Homo-oligomer: A and B are copies of this chain.
Amino acid sequence: MLSAAALTVGVDVGGTSVRAGVVDADGAVLDTARAPTPRAEAALEATVARVIGELAGRHPVEAAGLALAGFITPDRRGVRFAPHLSWRDAPVADRIAARTGLPVVVEHDANAAALAELHFGAAAGAPPPSTTVFVALGTGIGAALLIDGVLFRGAHGVAPELGHLRVVPGGRPCPCGKAGCWERYCSGTALATTAVEMIAREPGLSPALRRLVVDDPGRITGRRVAAAARDGDPLACAAVADLARWLGEGLALVADVFDPELVVIGGGVAASAPLFLDDAREHYASRLTGAGRRPLARIRTAQLGEDAAVVGAARLAREAG
């Protein structure tokens, strides 16, 4: 563990952009840098090293942590596979360390975000909850499990992978090759898909959203559907209610397998939590195995917004340093 005065860099390596921040021991983000994500492996590594170097030029940083969606090796130095990045069985930590001269660790982005929420956000407190599940709703679903404040990674570093639990056999096809995966029904992407399906069935229900679709179905995004729901659009409200139902359904499943004390809902969709979290909570409580005969988990909204993975990755770099 580095000294309390030390600063570290956290880097959220996403499919669209690389976002980095200088973070202090209290989880405060002091400075940021970002760049678009290149496709090619060498260019990707050069970009990650450049944003770290940019921040290291302005602050006395001592270590860096990378957060990304993908399968990370148990030693947190390599990336086995990342669906939106070009790394395949790549020794990413060593390569970035060589380029920057800093010690580097790599972590799954949901794990990093969960750790940030544990130390500085929705799950902060002493003692830490015995069992915390973090569910990030964004393009897909990212998830993390913290047992007594420690990340659980499973035997090969890939647990828990919840987004591709099949909730609907024969349901919506998923890029993973399966169908009916939870994230096809409960994510920002799912919210848009549901709205598009509803518009096709009942075109009159939402003239505003329908106009978007006629121009280009890609213009319907989860964010736009959530905004329309906040304005009271009936179709958008129905799409959000559908998401709430599937969130509750999935959380009941999560509670069956992990029996958590606390569930934290994060990711971009969490910004709209007031629209759906009460419904999801009720659905969860009614779908739980042994409902009424066992304690319920508390369900809370993440507090750190889109900085969570950056803050968590920086925290991991601090712990490893």
Partner-B contacts on A (CB < 8 A)? 71, 80-81, 129-131, 147, 152-169, 176-178, 249, 253, 256-262, 287, 289-291, 293-295, 297
Contacts and interface: CB of A to CB of B under 8 A. Distances in A.
A89 to B, nearest CB: 9
Contact of A253 (B157, B165, B168): B165
A293 B162 contact: no
Given A156-B294, A156-B295, A159-B258, 20 more contacts: A71-B290, A71-B293, A81-B290, A81-B293, A131-B154, A147-B147, A154-B258, A155-B259, A155-B295, A155-B297, A158-B290, A158-B294, A159-B256, A159-B259, A161-B290, A162-B256, A167-B169, A176-B290, A178-B287, A257-B258
25 contacts: A71-B290, A80-B293, A81-B290, A81-B294, A130-B155, A131-B155, A147-B152, A155-B259, A155-B261, A155-B262, A155-B297, A156-B295, A159-B256, A159-B258, A159-B259, A160-B258, A160-B259, A161-B256, A161-B289, A161-B290, A164-B256, A165-B257, A176-B289, A176-B290, A177-B291
Contacts of A159: 131, 256-259
Given A155-B129, A169-B168, A257 B162 contact: yes
A299 to B, nearest CB: 13
Given A155-B130, A293-B81, A294-B80, A165 B256 contact: yes
Contact of A294 (B71, B165, B262): B71
Contacts of A152: 147
A259 B294 contact: no
Contacts of A253: 165-166
Please tell me how many copies of the chain the complex holds: 2
A249 B167 CA distance: 12
9 tightest CB-CB pairs across the interface, nearest first?
A154-B259, A159-B259, A155-B261, A164-B289, A81-B293, A131-B155, A161-B256, A156-B295, A160-B257
A158 B289 CA distance: 10
- Among A158, A167, A260: residue with most chain B CB under 10 A: A158
Contacts of A291: 177
Given A129-B155, A159-B257, A259-B159, A178 B289 contact: yes
- Among A129, A156, A176, A297: residue with most chain B CB under 10 A: A156
Nearest to A153: B259
- Among A80, A157, A256, A262: residue with most chain B CB under 10 A: A256
Nearest to A261: B155
A165 B169 CA distance: 13
Contacts of A260: 154-155
A157 B168 CA distance: 29
A259 B152 CA distance: 10
B257 A257 contact: yes
